[in-house]
Amino acid sequence: MSVRGKAFIAGAYEHPLRTIPNKTVQQVHAEVAAGALADAGLSFSDVDAYFCAGDAPGFGALSMAEYLGLELTHIDNTETGGSSYLLHVQHAAEAIAAGHCHVALITLAGLPRSSGAGIGGAGRFGSAPEVSFENFFGLSIVAGYAMAARRHMYEFGTTSKQLAEIKVAAASHAQHNPNAFLQNAVTIEEVLQSKMVADPLHMLDCCVVTDGGGALVVVSPEVARKLSRQSVPVLGTGFAVKHVNNGRIDLTHTGAVVSGPRAFAEAGLTPSDIRYASIYDSFTITVLTTLEDLGFCEKGKGGEFVADGALQAPFGKLPFNTDGGGLCNNHPSNRGGITKVIEAVRQLRNEAHPTVQVPNCQFALAHGTGGNLATRMGSATLILGQEV
């Protein structure tokens, strides 16, 4: 079953704040839900499906359905880290296509800044079977991504300077986002001279830690037709799990190798059709590897690709993360994800900041990376358009 054109993103909302003291996580979920429904021109009573991930408190969708006061025919707690919310769009599209629901609400919210969590957060290890074999070696989230960067450098000659280009592009976009956590432009030298966190990743190779959240409303074609707001059709979806494969890990490829082609095939498009890309940017290396794996450049050539100004909006070969991304704008709950879809929707609606709005943005891609890079991860790719 293809979901191409069978579901539309009718509402998208990003919480404007990056530090939210004195509010509960569920309250921020409710605020972004209200924002996305208002954007769509719908109300809480229209919602018949609700999606959330591990950032939601308690029993997830069960607790939140009660808290929000929703009457539901469908719920989904799928948890794949930062890619959860992109996968939720796919699952919502599937459920809508199957006739199980008509108006699906997806929310993310978290308060890691106010709660004092560091980069990557505390992790959700619990009683996972791998814990005693991985987590007792001082493996920080950054160190895991740093090892992927180190291996990429070894295999393909990628440099720290090339990784820095990604932050430079994101920062140049963030200057135009009045809500961005970091709104200053940075130079390659500033990235390279920032504190080394886990070699070879510097502080400025890392995403921001922000409170906040976002929400999406995904609706059936019938509902979309009745709304005055421009809806964005879901054209292609792809998901992949990649794990350590009995210890035979491969740090230079992500699940995007599988999720990307699936999404492109469903959409009937190729990478050269994409005018704008939201690429999950927990770290600069996340972007570089993902660009290669999605087919925007040859494997191993990501460094050259980004050093050529490809990511700069509006006229680069592949303008990316025009909101400033997780590197500068927002990485709520230590897992952006939903903000990737929100900025893609803004681009397709021609509502990005005029300075970074991509002209004639007919097709956009949003990609989420959840978990650890290339080891235990969920990769989710969405291709969205202006019309079916």
User: Binding segment for other proteins among 2-10, 141-149, 159-167, 168-176 (CB under 8 A)?
Assistant: 141-149
Task: By CB under 8 A, tell whether 131 contacts other proteins.
Answer: yes
Buried b / exposed e over 309-336, threshold 16 CB at 10 Å, is ebbbbbeeebbbbbbbbbbbbbbbbbbb
Task: By CB under 8 A, tell whether 163 contacts other proteins.
Answer: no
Can you say whether residue 218 is alpha, beta or left, with left for phi > 0 and alpha for psi between -120 and 50 degrees? beta
- Kindly tell me which of 5 and 121 has the beta carbon lying closer to other proteins: 121
Q: How far is CA 147 from each of CA 125, 252, 309, 332, rounded to the nearest angstrom? A: 20, 10, 26, 24
Of 9, 104, 148, 223, the residue at the interface with other proteins (CB under 8 A) is 148
Task: By CB under 8 A, tell whether 136 contacts other proteins.
Answer: yes
Integer Cα distance of 142 and 197 in angstroms: 7
Q: Look at the block and give the residue holding tokens 């966190």.
A: 197
Task: By CB under 8 A, tell whether 94 contacts other proteins.
Answer: no
CA trace torsion 77, 82, 83, 89 (10° rounding):
60
Window 230 to 289, contacts with other proteins (CB under 8 A): 244, 246-249, 251
CB of 163 to other proteins, least distance (A): 14
> Which residues, 6 or more positions from 193, have their beta carbon under 8 angstroms from its beta carbon?
202
- Kindly tell me which of 22 and 127 has the beta carbon lying closer to other proteins: 127
Contact 76, 65 (CB under 8 A): no
Integer Cα distance of 90 and 386 in angstroms: 17
User: Binding segment for other proteins among 38-46, 132-140, 305-313, 347-355 (CB under 8 A)?
Assistant: 132-140
CB of 331 to other proteins, least distance (A): 18
- Kindly tell me which of 114 and 194 has the beta carbon lying closer to other proteins: 194
> Which positions from 170 to 209 touch other proteins by CB under 8 A, shown as an x/- string?
-------------------------xxxxxxx--------
Task: By CB under 8 A, tell whether 139 contacts other proteins.
Answer: yes
Task: By CB under 8 A, tell whether 116 contacts other proteins.
Answer: no
Q: Which two tokens mark 358?
A: 């991509």
Interface with other proteins (CB under 8 A)? 118, 127, 129-134, 136-140, 142-143, 146-148, 150-151, 154, 195-201, 244, 246-249, 251
